[in-house]
Chain A
Amino acid sequence: MTDPLNALAAWFQTILLNWGLPENVVSVILAVIGVVILCVFVLLVDIFLVWIERKVVARFQDRLGPNRLGPFGLIQPIADVIKLLIKEDITPNGASRFVYNIPPIIALATVLLMWAVIPLAPTILGADINVGVLYIIAIGAISTLGILMAGWASNNKYALLGAFRTVAQMISYEIPMLISLLIPVLLASSMGLNDIITDQSVWNILIVPLAGGIFLLSSIAELGRAPFDLVEAESEIVAGFHIEYTGMKFGLFYAGELLHALTVGAIFAILFLGGWRGPGVNLPYVGPFLGIFYLFIKAFIVYYVTMWFKYSLPRLRIDHMLGFNWKFLTPLALVLLIVVAILDKVLANANVSITIYVLVMFAANILIGWAAISWAKVYTRREREHFDQKNNTNSFQTQLSEENSSAVQS
C-alpha cells in the first residue's frame, strides 16, 4: 500500500459495493465525493489567501496589516466574509436578471474547474486527460466570456467600457501565453500535465527561463493584476466591469481573482518548477502528502512574486499594454518557440549529456532575452524622440538636471 488516499478510496468503494449498489453508481458517488473534497480544500486555501494578500501588501507598504482579530489577524478573512454576506443584494435598474447573476458564478467556477487537471501528487489527480494544457486554456477562455457578460448586464456605460478593455487585454495576452505554454509541451512531447512533470528531471526554468518569464508576464496580464490592472483601477474607470456588483457577488469576483492568481502559480510550478517533484515523493506512506506540500510551496512562491509585481510597479496605460503584447511579447515568444524546437532536435541528435543540453539551452534563452531587451530599448528611445519632435516636449529628464544645476548656482 503505497498511497494512503487511493487506498482509502478503494476501501470506501468496496463498502459501497457490498451494500449492493451497481458499479457505475458507486464510481459516480466516489467521483462526487472527490470533487467535493477538492473544492472544499481549494476554497479554504482561498480564504487563507485573503489574509496573505493583506499582510503582504501591508509589509510592502511598511505597515502591519490586520492584527486585531485573532492571532496575527488570522480571523480577519472570516470577518470579511461575514461582512460581504450581510450586505444588501442589489440588482441595478434595467439589468437583465439572469445575465446579471451568472458572471460571479462563472468567475469562481472556472477557476475551480482548472483544479480538476492539476496533479497534486504522482497519484492524486482529478482527471488524467492527455490534453490538460489545452483544457486550462479553454477554461481561461470561458472566464473571459463571464467578464463580458458582467460588463454588459450591468446597464452602466463604465462597466461596459471596462469589460471591453478587459476582454481586449485578455484575448491579446492569451497568445504569448499559449505560445510560451507550448515550450514545456515541446520539451515533454505531451500535453498532459502529469507527463510534463515526470519529464522534468531538470526543472524547465533552468532550461527555458525566457519561456517562464513570458508565461509569467502574460499570466499576470490575463489575471488583470497590476501592473496590468487598468481594467479595474479605482482611480481611472471606477472598478471597471464589477462596479455594479455588491455583497457576496463582488466577494465571488474577488475570491475568484485571488484563487486564479494561486492557480496560475500552481500551473507555473507544474510547467516550469517541476510540480510535485522533490526529495522523497516516492516514499510509501508520506509520498503523496509531500507531493502536495511541494506543489503548494512552489505555487505560493510564484504567488508571492506576483504580489511583488503588483505592489511595486505603477499601472500601465492600455495602449502601452497592448503595444507591449503585440510588438514585443508575441514575436519574442514565436522566435523562442522556433529556436527551442530547433535546438532541442539538434542536441537530441548529437546525443549530448544533460549538463551540456541545459547549458546550451539556457545560454540561448539568455541571448535571445538580452537581444530582445536591447532592441526594445532602441525602439522605445526612437519612439520617444519622434514624440518629442512632434510635440516639442523634452521627455529625457535633461530638464530636471538643468533645473538642478541652475538652482545650485543661484
Chain B
Amino acid sequence: MTPEMLIFIIIATITLGAAFMVVSSRNLVHVALWLIVTLFGVALLFTLLSAGFLAIAQVVIYIGAIAILLIFAIMLTRRTKEDVKSTFNSNWRWALFIGFLFFTGLLVILMNWSGIAAAPPELDSRANPVVEIGLALVNPNGYLLVFELASVLLLAALVGSIFVAWDRRK
C-alpha cells in the first residue's frame, strides 16, 4: 500500500461520503455545502492525476461560480415553512434499484475490458499542459471548432438566463 494509494482511498471515501450526503440531506443549504466538499474532492483527484490546471479550473468554475449560484438560488426560492415530509419523492425505491443496476452493469463492463489494469505511463516532464491546451484550442486542425461552439453556447446561456429570469412586473 503505497502512500499514493492511501491518499486516494482517503480522498475517494470523503468524496463519496459527501456525495451520499448531497442526495440524502434534508436541509437544502447543507446539501449545497456537501456538494462543495464533493467538488473539492474531485479537484484533489485531478491533482492526483497530474492535471493541475484542471484541478484549479475546477475550483474556480465549480466552487467559485456554480456552487455560489446554487446557494443564491436556494436562498431565493426557499419556502417560509420547511417541508416536514420526506425529501424523496414516491419512486425512490425504483431510483435506488436503477442506481444499483447501473453500477453493477458498469462494473461488469469494466471487468471484461482488457486494459483495466494498465499502469500509468511516465509523463514527459518537459511538457507544459497549459501551453498544450492553449495551442490545441486555437489550432484549426485541433479543437478550434469545439472552442467556438462552446463560446456560442455560453453566449446563448447568458442571454437566455437573463431573459428567462427577468422580472417583467416592473
Which A residues are within 8 Å of any B CB, using their own CB? 24, 99, 129-131, 134-135, 137-138, 140-142, 144-145, 148-149, 152, 160, 164, 167, 171, 174, 191
Contacts and interface: CB of A to CB of B under 8 A. Distances in A.
A24 B3 contact: yes
Contacts of B67: 145
B63 A142 contact: yes
B125 to A, nearest CB: 12
B52 A171 contact: no
Contact of B68 (A99, A135, A138, A167): A167
Interface string B58-79: 0110011101100110010000
Interface string B26-64: 000110010010000000000000001100110110011
A152 B29 CA distance: 9
A129 B3 CA distance: 22
Nearest to A160: B75
Given A130-B128, A152-B75, A138 B29 contact: no
Contact of A148 (B52, B59, B71, B128): B71
Q: Interface SS of chain B: helix, strand, loop or mixed?
A: helix
A144 B3 CA distance: 33
A132 to B, nearest CB: 10
Nearest to A99: B33
The 3 closest A-B pairs by CB, nearest first: A141-B64, A138-B59, A138-B60
Given A134-B56, A148-B68, 5 more contacts: A138-B59, A141-B65, A145-B63, A145-B67, A164-B72
B33 A167 contact: no
Interface in B1-38: 3, 29-30, 33, 36
B64 A142 contact: yes
B130 interface: yes
Given A131-B130, A152-B75, A164-B72, A141 B56 contact: no
Nearest to A189: B131
Contacts of A171: 64-65, 68
A148 B36 CA distance: 13
A131 B56 contact: yes
A148 B30 CA distance: 13
A152 B30 CA distance: 11
Contacts of A99: 29-30, 33
Given A130-B128, A164-B75, A191-B130, A145 B68 contact: yes
Residue from the set A99, A142, A167 with the largest chain B CB neighbour count within 10 Å:
A142
A328 B130 CA distance: 31
A1 to B, nearest CB: 27
A141 B75 contact: no
Contacts of A160: 75
Residue from the set A140, A145, A174 with the largest chain B CB neighbour count within 10 Å:
A145
A129 B52 contact: yes
